Copies of this chain bind each other. A is one copy, B any other.
C-alpha cells in the first residue's frame, strides 16, 4: 500500500518559489500562465493493507509533522 501526500503553501501565504518559477517559465517563452505554486510530494510505502487505520494514523502525521500547518495545507491519499 502506498500513501501519497501533497503539501502546498497556503494560498494567502507568499510563495516566492512559485513566483520565481512563473517568471522563469514566462521568460523561457511559456505564455498564459496565471500562477505557479510549488509544494512537496511525499510517498510512503506501507507494509499494512488496512487502509482505514493507515489513513487515520497518517492524517495525524501529516498535521503534526510532515506539513507545517501554519503555512501549508496537505492532501493525503491512500492507494
Q: Mark A24-54, 1 if CB is under 8 A from B, else 0.
A: 1100101111111111111111111000000
Counting contact residues on chain A (CB < 8 A from B), the size range is: 20 to 34
Q: A interface vs B, CB < 8 Å?
A: 6-8, 21, 24-25, 28, 30-48, 57-58, 61, 65-66
Chain B residues in 8 Å Cβ range of A39: 40-43
- Known: A25-B65, A65-B24. Is A33-B46 also a contact (CB below 8 A)? yes
A73 to chain B, nearest CB (A): 11
Can you show 13 pairs from A to B with CB atoms below 8 A apart?
Answer: A6-B41, A24-B65, A25-B61, A30-B58, A30-B61, A33-B46, A33-B47, A34-B47, A37-B42, A37-B43, A38-B41, A39-B41, A40-B41
